[in-house]
Structure 1
Amino acid sequence: MSFMLIAYFGCDMVTDKDGYMHLVQYLTEHLGIFENSQQQAVSEDTVMELFEEQLAAQIIMVCGQNPSLSFAQRNLVIREVDSIVYDLEEILARIADHKATAEQTLFITEFSCLIKNLFDQEIAKLMAA
């Protein structure tokens, strides 16, 4: 089954898909939310900590909603999330350690849900195969 998974996904589950590229573009188009914010921080968490927390929560949900995923498949999901976090660290390098504002928190929550949707789509394709 692990071989089938790698053959099906080509070692990448979402990070090589157009949907992911569009989300990265969406993030870069909205960097002003992070770079030019005049709002008061509402969280003790940094921007990067919030991304990590939100993505972790979404991926826990993905795995919980798909109990038939094998250990290898779950590991692939986790590796993909690690790649996404790395991309976020690169894109948000200058502001990753800033405390998050309400607007940023809302954006991060929305973005994380969109990432989950990508995983949901790819897992549905896998299960249908």
Structure 2
Amino acid sequence: MVIDKPGYEHLIQFLTEHLTLFTAQGPIATPSKTIGVLLEEKIAEQIITLCTQHSDLEMNHRSLIIREIDGIMYDLQEILASVLEKPATEHQLELITEIAMLVKNLFDNAIAALFD
């Protein structure tokens, strides 16, 4: 659905271009939440929004989305493995939020193509 598309490659490239942000110091956004937890939460929020907005999705499409999200999370966790347990700075949280919104956008586009 999205993992095999150029947009996903661009998303991964975008993240890798901004990896230095994850080594930078700054004010902690939420001391009790790590980068890994925030990544999971932000992507989950976007996927819940996606499924709510596209209530006409069939169960097989929803299952495919969940399988692909698992793959996306695996890739993102591999890229960020060395920093997943660190608390996120405000700038890191902003980037994580942006990445989550980009993931949702990839699925929005894929869903739109399904119904064209």
> TM-score normalised by the shorter chain: which range applies?
over 0.9
1:38, 1:125 → 2: CA distance? 41
2:108, 2:25 → 1: CA distance? 35
Show structure 1 runs of 5+ residues with no match: 1-12
Show structure 2 runs of 5+ residues with no match: none
1:105 to 86, 90, 93: 93
- Given residue 63 of structure 1, which amino acid in structure 2 is its aligned partner? C
- Given residue 45 of structure 1, which amino acid in structure 2 is its aligned partner? K
Q: Deviations over 1:7-62 (max 9, x none)?
A: xxxxxx11111000001001001001102x11132212111111110100100111
1:127, 1:98 → 2: CA distance? 41
CA RMSD of aligned residues (A): 0.8
Asked whether 1:40 is paired with 2:38, we answer no
| Partner residue in 2 for 1:3 | none
Of the two structures, which has the highest relative contact order with CA contacts closer than 8 Å and spacing of 6 or more?
2
| Partner residue in 1 for 2:18 | 30
Instruction: Tell me which stretches of 4 or more aligned residues in structure 1 moved more than 4 Å.
Output: none
- Given residue 80 of structure 1, which amino acid in structure 2 is its aligned partner? E
Q: Deviations over 1:55-98 (max 9, x none)?
A: 00100111111111111110110111110000011100100110
| Partner residue in 2 for 1:67 | 55
- Given residue 34 of structure 1, which amino acid in structure 2 is its aligned partner? F
The structure carrying a bigger strand percent of its residues is: 1
2:29, 2:63 → 1: CA distance? 34
Written as runs of structure 1 = structure 2, the 5 A alignment for 1:114-125 is 114-125=102-113
Larger gyration radius, structure 1 or structure 2: 1
Number of equivalenced pairs: 115
2:109, 2:77 → 1: CA distance? 25
1:33, 1:119 → 2: CA distance? 26
| Partner residue in 1 for 2:39 | 51
Task: Tell me the percent identity.
Answer: 49
